[in-house]
Amino acid sequence: MVAKHSTWYHIVLLITAVIILCEGTLSKSDRKPKINKRKSTTIGNEAINVVRDTPKTTEFHQLKINPDEVSLSEVLAKHEQLDIGEKKFDMPTLGYVTPLKINPDEVSLSEVLAKHEQLDIGEKKFDMPTLGYVTPWNNHGYNVAKWAAKKFTHISPVWFQFKPATIDGQRTCSIGGTHDIDQGWLRDIQSNNSEIVFVPRFIMEGWMGSTVNDFLYDEMWQRRCIQAIVDLIERNEMQGAVMEMWLQLITMTRGQLKQEMMELVTSWADYFHAKDLEFILPLNPPLNEAYEYNGIMSPEEFTEVAKHVDYINVMLYDYHTDRPAGVAPIEWIQRNMEFLLRESPVSSSKVLLGLNFYGFEFTATKVEAITSSRYVYICFAHY
């Protein structure tokens, strides 16, 4: 288990590709970034995540290139492919992988262009817990998580959904996404960092408002559901879970069953701990762009929940406003944290602060996310 620290916050690191989320902190969506206002309980997020398209298939194929026929189109089509076939050069070959050295005060456009493909795989410099999310809908991040495993204390594969089900006449939960499990990848990460903690993401999916109301008042249903989740975790030798459920419950109950929601979270977290597993709860920002409370979670509720869970992952990005603005203004981040911690500053040891690694490009007609590939393209265009 990871030791706790009484600092203002920890960091949850979200790496590599942009995903767009609606009514969930980590869920995939096809929503485009928009400037118009949205409901305070529907907090859309984008996150930079560690990801790969098809965990079950081979990532790279032997690259076949005729050096006499290389064209610009072929370079653009194949520059991300890696030839993992047999070595063709019959003499000794030495390869170096060195830590990336960058002075943040001296970053220049030329340096970005020269080093943007390099990855620092050295020891972690931040001495607090660091969580990386890994999703199945991007083509590169599984390798980033594997190569840079020493940079993380926790890895959360965004694989699973828990849904209402009836089995043998009893209400329980079915688990979706098990086809994404990649034990070979998990072992590869452990070989690079034997202390890594695997906490897969489970999202509440396929529930209706009336069903949720019944669920929150049915303790046996809740127990069968969490047993199904824990059984899957233990069978796959993982160490806990990220349970994405708070925003879904708030939305479907219209915030009217907060006490029942808290009892569910605390009882599930206690059940996890009885099995020596970690429980992490994602949480959307409690203050909107006007610094007004949106009903997500009060300071008193935060303090109570923090007593039971291992971490609360506060997803502080995708700032909502009806005008062009930053993705997450620093004052807005600070005000949200001060709001949550005002009743119990000691709860800061339970906070994982979600950080964004993307931006928005505003034009007269649209708003688009700037991810790494777009950022590099813009750099080249202005170099």
The string of pLDDT tens digits covering residues 331-366 is: 999 999 999 999 888 778 899 999 877 888 888 888
**What mean pLDDT, rounded, does the chain reach?**
81
Would you place residue 17 in the very low, low, confident or very high pLDDT band (cuts 50, 70, 90)? very low
Question: Cα separation of 304 and 299, whole Å?
Answer: 9
Of 88 and 178, the one with more pLDDT: 178
Which range is least confidently modeled, 62-66, 222-226, 262-266, 278-282?
Answer: 62-66
The phi and psi torsions of 230 (rounded to 5 degrees) equal: -65, -40
pLDDT at site 29: 41
- C-alpha angle with apex 155: 302 to 198, nearest 5 degrees? 90
**Does pLDDT of 265 surpass 80?**
yes
**Does pLDDT of 256 surpass 80?**
yes
pLDDT at site 40: 30
Question: Which amino acid belongs to residue 239?
Answer: Q
pLDDT at site 321: 76
Q: Which of 6-15, 167-176, 336-345, 354-363 has the highest mean pLDDT?
A: 167-176
Q: Which residues pair with 49 in a beta bridge?
A: 17
| Unique residue bearing structure tokens 């034009």 | 363
Question: Cα separation of 341 and 352, whole Å?
Answer: 13
Q: Which of 309, 310, 328, 308 is nearest to 318 (CA)?
A: 328
Which range is least confidently modeled, 20-24, 150-154, 320-324?
Answer: 20-24
Question: Cα separation of 164 and 94, whole Å?
Answer: 55
Would you place residue 10 in the very low, low, confident or very high pLDDT band (cuts 50, 70, 90)? low
Integer distance in angstroms from the first to the last C-alpha of the chain?
Answer: 47
Query: Quick one: average pLDDT of 50-64?
Result: 43
Query: Quick one: average pLDDT of 179-200?
Result: 97
Query: Quick one: average pLDDT of 60-87?
Result: 65
The percent of residues above 70 in pLDDT, for the chain, comes to: 75
Would you place residue 86 in the very low, low, confident or very high pLDDT band (cuts 50, 70, 90)? low
Of 39 and 301, the one with more pLDDT: 301
Of 249 and 139, the one with more pLDDT: 249
Q: Answer whether 0.85 is exceeded by the pTM.
A: no
Query: Quick one: average pLDDT of 12-35?
Result: 41
Query: Quick one: average pLDDT of 161-190?
Result: 97
Q: HEC states along the chain?
A: CCCCCCCCCEEEECCCEEEEECCCCCCCCCCCCCCCCCCCCCCCEEEEEEECCCCCCCCCCCCCCCHHHCCHHHHHHHCCCCCCCCCCCCCCCCCCCCCCCCCHHHCCHHHHHHHCCCCCCCCCCCCCCEEEEEECCCCCHHHHHHHCHHHCCEEEECCEEEEEEEECCEEEEEEECHHHCCHHHHHHHHHHCCCCEECCEEEECCCCHHHHHHHHCCHHHHHHHHHHHHHHHHHCCCCEEEEECHHHHHHHHCCCCHHHHHHHHHHHHHHHHHCCCEEEEEECCCECCCCCECCCCCHHHHHHHHCCCCEEEECCCCCCCCCCCCCCCHHHHHHHHHHHHCCCHHHHHHEEEECCCCEEEECCCCEEEECHHHHHHHHHHCC
Question: Cα separation of 174 and 235, whole Å?
Answer: 16
Would you place residue 22 in the very low, low, confident or very high pLDDT band (cuts 50, 70, 90)? very low
Residues 283-337 have pLDDT tens digits of 999 999 999 999 999 999 999 999 999 999 999 987 877 777 778 889 999 999 9
Residue 214 CB neighbours (<10 A): 12
**Does pLDDT of 39 surpass 60?**
no
The encoded tokens of residue 66 equal: 């005729």
Of 126 and 9, the one with more pLDDT: 126
**Segments making up each domain of the chain, as ranges:** 11-51+114-381
The percent of residues above 90 in pLDDT, for the chain, comes to: 53
| Unique residue bearing structure tokens 């030839």 | 83
Domain boundaries 11-51+114-381, corresponding CATH code: 3.20.20.80
Q: Which of 99-113, 156-170, 314-328 has the highest mean pLDDT?
A: 156-170
Query: Quick one: average pLDDT of 265-290?
Result: 97
Sign of CA dihedral 327, 329, 330, 335: negative
Would you place residue 374 in the very low, low, confident or very high pLDDT band (cuts 50, 70, 90)? confident
